Amino acid sequence: MRPPSDFEADIARYVLGVLTEQDLPEVATQALLEGRSSLALGALAGEPPSASPFLIRELFDRALRDMGMNKPAAEKAVYALRAFWLHKLAARDVDAFDTLGRLLKEVYYPHRSLATRPDERVVGEALGIAELVGIYWSIRDGTDEGWLSADQRTQLERVAREEAAKCLQTSDG
């Protein structure tokens, strides 16, 4: 399965409230740079972030319709961002710790608020990212408290990349 594009990840972020209407003109500009095309997308890219939220939402929704796209439901948005960040982490083209932080901010925390069963709230279990959540906190706490050496951090980041690849192999994304 192909990873979500930056634009698809931004749509998911918007659905989950990570991005707001003020962010959508920049999202539209980036989408145009990705090669996407729609008159409404171009109009949105030209709007200032301070434009009417109603106008921005209308242009964004029209641009998605023009391109044959839809906003995903919140649960699907969580899984799209999960796939996005797991692919980034496994591909080794981003800083591992920063990527783990984004995975928690954009996937783990929003999913916790969407959980309907108590067992879904257990440290990333429902998303299959429990190991990655633990690695993030080990690096953060170890760095903040001064007990994590550079070699240990490098090892944890390597394990995180391997775990991301494993998550991708054992799931749909």
Averaged pLDDT of the chain: 89
Q: Residues 6 or more apart from 96 whose CB is under 8 A from it? A: 89, 157, 160, 161
3-class DSSP state of 17? coil
Lowest mean pLDDT across 48-52, 69-73, 107-111, 141-145:
107-111
Residue 169 pLDDT more than 80? Answer: yes
Domain ranges of the chain: 6-66, 74-169
CB atoms within 10 A of CB 166: 14
Length of the chain equals 173
In the DSSP assignment, the letter for residue 50 is T
CB atoms within 10 A of CB 53: 12
Confidence of residue 111 (pLDDT cuts 50, 70, 90): confident
Confidence of residue 54 (pLDDT cuts 50, 70, 90): very high
- The whole-angstrom separation of Cα 20 and Cα 13 is 9
Residue 109 pLDDT more than 90? Answer: no
